[in-house]
Amino acid sequence: MFTGIVTAIGTIAKAQQRGDLRLRIAAPLDPARIDIGASIACSGVCLTVVDRGGSAGDAWFDVDVSGETVSRTVGGMWHEGARLNLEPSLRVGDEIGGHIVTGHVDAVGEVVRAEPVGDSWRFDIRAPKALAPFIAPKGSITVQGVSLTVNELADEADGACTFMLNIIPHTSEVTTLGGLRTGDQVNLEIDVLARYLKRMQTLAG
């Protein structure tokens, strides 16, 4: 489980296609605090550490990315040189600074508007029809592994929706979101509470 609070930006140093895709991710972390078998969210995708090394502040860890994961995430994101938002899984006693995040991508969205507003950035992101019922103004959503608040929402005729985000300078600096531009794709995960509420409503008829 995660909270959507990014702790570091990593870079894919090596990508090797085996049965699955093996990645080596370089990151300014302490390898002594990265356990084999631990989960790390990589731009919103929960992956399992299979090896690690390096030194404090200059670490690396290896993960395997299945074909299923590749097919359900942003196209082309798993290549050498790509930057990833990283968050280790929660430990007992850790602060929940964002909202509860599972690390399972629900869909890929598209940035349809990106423009500076004061010192911040406004991003309008189009989400597919399947996700629209789970997104609400002032609710939480995870974009590229980052816990964010939906400022505004517009439903569209085809059942999809477009939601607006305001990204403050700090978030732009400590995540990869500052580099997003119109036309880019992003990994989306809906709020787990919205998922359960929708299920309860469905069962209630």
Domain range summary for the chain, segments of one domain joined by +: 8-88, 107-204
pLDDT at position 139 over 80: yes
CB–CB of 188/72 below 8 Å? no
Mind listing the pLDDT tens digit for each residue in 91-130? 767 777 788 899 999 999 999 999 999 999 999 999 999 9
Cα distances (Å, whole numbers) of residue 1 to 91, 146, 192? 9, 13, 11
* pLDDT greater than 80 at residue 41: yes
pLDDT of 95: 74
- Rounded to two decimals, the pTM is 0.94
Q: Which residues contact 155 (CB under 8 A, 6 or more apart)?
A: 132, 161
Above pLDDT 90, what percent of the chain? 86
At residue 200, the pLDDT reads: 84
Confidence of residue 197 (pLDDT cuts 50, 70, 90): confident
- Residue 91 corresponds to which tokens in the numbers above? 């430990």
Instruction: Look over the chain and give the mean of its residue pLDDT values, rounded to a whole number.
Output: 95
CA-based radius of gyration for the chain: 17
What residue type is 32 in one-letter code? A
Question: Given this model, what pLDDT does residue 203 score?
Answer: 85
The CATH architecture one would assign to domain 107-204 is: Beta Barrel (2.40)
Q: What is the pLDDT of residue 81?
A: 98
Question: Which helix (H) or strand (E) element contains residue 50?
Answer: strand 45-55
Q: What is the pLDDT of residue 94?
A: 76
Separation CA 172–CA 168 (nearest Å): 6
With 0-12 / 13-18 / 19 or more C-beta atoms within 10 angstroms meaning exposed / middle / buried, residue 64 is: middle
Averaged over 126-153, what is the pLDDT? Answer: 96
Q: At the top level of CATH, which class does the domain 8-88 belong to?
A: mainly beta
Asked if pLDDT for residue 136 goes beyond 80, the answer is yes
Q: Please state the rounded mean pLDDT for residues 129-142.
A: 95
